[in-house]
Amino acid sequence: MYNSSTFFFRLTFLFLSSIISFVFQHWILIWLLIWSYLVLCASATSPVQHQPFPSIPFSTFSDTIQTIFGSNISWATVLAFSFTLFENPNLLNLHFCQQQQIYGDENKSQISGWIIALINALVDKLGNKRTETLFSENELAREPDKKVKVDLAGKLDQVAGCLKLSTFDEKGNYKIK
């Protein structure tokens, strides 16, 4: 009655139409299965281990800020500066990597492009008035505008070093992030 190609075509059509019908009738179930699969896959990956935040007394933090920036810096500027450091560990990690000579032919860079990019964002956020509070009057009087960001990057590097935020130890060995 039916030849084999017609039979195969009808069987394939019935199979596909039943799958499409199931999907349209049970789309919530399928969506939940896909979503739960994605959640399980995301939770199965191991989280990145970060080094614990260094335990530094407030007096050390305060002395560091006053030594590097002077006493005329506002608390809001200190917080903005500090949060810029604490909330950008990947940029700091890249900066600290460029300060190390891992391979023999690499050049070490005290002030990297990564820290300059971080300073550019901070200066844009703070504005000129607050940025001036990051320097003493003597520093502002003798520094041209172009060198201000490089000096500020050096200060950011000093603060990160004093707060032990570097991902490298004293011997140049990489610690966990």
Q: What are 46-84's pLDDT values in tens digits?
A: 555 555 666 788 888 888 888 888 888 888 888 888 888
**Looking at residue 81, what is its pLDDT?**
85
Considering the domain architecture, whether residues 75 and 32 belong to the same structural domain is answered as no
CB 95 within 8 A of CB 136: no
**Looking at residue 160, what is its pLDDT?**
85
Q: Which domain holds residue 27?
A: 4-44
Tell me the CA distances in angstroms from 141 to 54, 72, 135, one per residue in order.
Answer: 35, 16, 10
Considering the domain architecture, whether residues 115 and 37 belong to the same structural domain is answered as no
Considering the domain architecture, whether residues 86 and 125 belong to the same structural domain is answered as yes
Q: Please identify every stretch of the chain with a pLDDT value under 50, giving residue numbers as ranges.
A: none
Considering the domain architecture, whether residues 72 and 37 belong to the same structural domain is answered as no
**Looking at residue 48, what is its pLDDT?**
55
Residue 53 lies inside a defined structural domain of this protein: no
Considering the domain architecture, whether residues 90 and 113 belong to the same structural domain is answered as yes
Residue 110 lies inside a defined structural domain of this protein: yes
pLDDT digits 0-9 by tens, 140-153: 666 656 677 888 88
Considering the domain architecture, whether residues 72 and 23 belong to the same structural domain is answered as no
Residue 175 lies inside a defined structural domain of this protein: no
Considering the domain architecture, whether residues 34 and 63 belong to the same structural domain is answered as no
Residue 50 lies inside a defined structural domain of this protein: no
The pTM is what? 0.63
Considering the domain architecture, whether residues 29 and 70 belong to the same structural domain is answered as no
Q: What is the total count of domains within the chain?
A: 2
The letter for the amino acid at 66 is Q
Considering the domain architecture, whether residues 71 and 158 belong to the same structural domain is answered as yes
